[in-house]
Structure 1
């Protein structure tokens, strides 16, 4: 009797091809994601599946699976009979993304103020100190800022919030007019971070929540397309 592929031992030859195929489309998705977020593949641009398949030396099947993953993340838009395009971010998109970020991250910040350990707060403070050191280096500040927000979510320890914020921040990065790149925004953002850290240090959850909402709202204003 032929073996059932769903019950075959993971070490058998029958299971191996499926695992390799899965890894392949995930690797392709990671490459394309990096190009999209770096704007090497610009917002609104058509994704030439055949050219990419040739470049990567793969068939179009794993490429299309990768595009489905990116479409689920909001980075790619699939258009009927026209193929895949890098998602363009409209003003409405930005407003909706930042609105959700404000709700989710302010809630996470309040949780951190209430329940984080002293060791966790020290980790967060170390990232804030890094922000202070990067104020004259825009790119380094951008990276440190993202690490701070991700660490805050990690400490809040809600995996659903982390997943949703991760997707929202990827879409936010499609905006060519990154909020921290606006004149004076880095200094303003740093001051907002200082106030957030001060409120976290005294465990004032309500104040932290308000400050984080305001911080993200100001980021939205600086990220305006117009």
Structure 2
């Protein structure tokens, strides 16, 4: 299919974004524009527009007279992002508790049943995938496009960090308990409770990540 001229840079941005998330373009790596143009068979103009998009999303950092580099997410970044995303997703849970229909909550119940099965079988990758679907469903049930947009931007940065908080001791069971608490509040139409439970869930994710980082540092030093 022939791309329209004004969509080419979006296509290029999508390709590069996928490569960043897949790890083909690693954090800190330099993006060689000439090499990328040759590999993608495009001119400099759509590439540079795509790089501007990814820089605005926070996936790249631009250095004057040097070019673009894949962003490296620091512990400080995580400390700053998690309180914000906890507030935003907490508000999503608040609005979802007010807006969700019984049928929509039934669909969410199916996802939580799946989450429980994955937790019991300790299928961590499957748990991560279902966890993501649940968060996305609650954001959608909130029916607030501004919340969804800002959360989507922040989650791109978190995805870049390749977070593995479920490997902290006891975190899988704790995470499941937190999810069930959020869902119980949603079913009870308890907006305040859903908000608080979701904020607790995200806050504990950050605590678990600190523990994983501490353990990794200890193994390196030992």
Tell me whether the two structures share a fold, i.e. TM-score over 0.5.
Answer: yes
After superposition, the CA RMSD in angstroms is 1.6
Aligned to 2:104: 120
Question: Unpaired segments of 5 or more residues in structure 1?
Answer: 1-16
User: Does 2:11 correspond to 1:27?
Assistant: yes
Residue 72 (structure 1) aligns with:
56
Task: Provide runs of 4+ in structure 1 moved above 6 Å.
Answer: none
Aligned residue in 2 for 1:46: 30
Q: Secondary structure at the match of 1:45?
A: coil
How many angstroms does 1:172 deviate by?
0.7
Per-residue CA distance 1:58-90 (angstroms, 9 max, x = gap): 112111111111111111111111100111111
Write the distance in 2 (CA, Å) between the matches of 1:54 and 1:183.
46
Deviation readout 1:100-119 (Å, 9 max, x if unpaired)? 11111001101111221111
Query: Displacement of 1:195 after TM fit?
Result: 1.2
Matched positions, count? 209
Tell me the equivalent position of 1:8.
Answer: none
Q: 2:180 aligns with which of 190, 194, 198?
A: 194
Deviation at 1:210? 1.1
- Counterparts of 1:154 and 1:29 in 2: how far apart (Å)? 25
Q: Distance in 1 between matches of 2:169 and 2:26?
A: 24
- Of 206, 211, 215, the residue aligned with 2:192 is 206
SS of 2:4's equivalent? helix
2:128 corresponds to which residue?
A: 142
Aligned to 2:143: 157
Q: Per residue, is there more helix in 1 or in 2? A: 2
Note the C-alpha offset of 1:198.
1.2
